[in-house]
Homo-oligomer: A and B are copies of this chain.
Amino acid sequence: MLGRVNHVAIAVPDLAAATASYRDTLGATVSAPQALPEHGVTVVFVELPNTKVELLQPLGTDSPIAAFLDKNPSGGMHHICYEVGDILAARDQLIQGGARVLGTGEPKIGAHGKPVLFLHPKDFFGTLIELEQV
């Protein structure tokens, strides 16, 4: 079921400082910040040769990463996103295997304009997993 690692998402309290660190200290290629108000984050893409890292900063009053940053004020790795070919087939197979899908269970349109789902971290050893249909 799992395809490529689409991205690793890192929540940070200060996106400008984190972007400068990845660009200047680590020598990576970084995008301009993109505000995604419908997802409650501003994102900077760190482009690596085989995948990308997404630096996320909360945007607005109801950000899905606010609680994580309350618990981890310095920031940290927030989730990993895997690509799947058919997100509904993947979801049904996961539920049959006993995994819990967050929210309504229906895919939403994610930050890349494609259908996504999140799986309960308690079912995957503390790791929040996003699935994205590509």
Q: How many copies does the complex hold?
A: 2
By size class, the interface of chain A is: 35 or more
Any chain B CB within 8 A of the CB of A35?
no
Is A8 in contact with chain B by the CB < 8 A criterion? yes
CB distance from A5 to the nearest CB of B (A): 5
- Asked if A4 is an interface residue, CB under 8 A from chain B, the answer is yes
Q: Contacting chain B: which of A23-31, A59-67, A105-113? A: A23-31
Bitwise, A66-99 to B at CB < 8 A (1) or not (0) is: 0000001011110010100000000001100111
Question: Which residues of chain A in 101-134 are interfacial with respect to chain B, using CB atoms and an 8 Å cutoff?
Answer: 121-127, 129
Q: Shortest distance in angstroms between A68's beta carbon and chain B's nearest beta carbon?
A: 10
**Which A1-37 residues have a C-beta within 8 angstroms of B?**
1-5, 8, 10, 12-14, 17-18, 21-22, 24-28
**Is B74 touching A25 in the complex (CB atoms < 8 A)?**
no
Instruction: Tell me if B127 and A77 are in contact (CB < 8 A).
Output: yes
Q: Is the CB of A51 within 8 A of B51?
A: yes
> A80, B1: Cβ atoms under 8 Å?
no
Report Cα–Cα, A26/B3, bound state, in Å.
Answer: 10
Contact present for A49 and B12 (CB under 8 Å)? no
A109 to chain B, nearest CB (A): 23
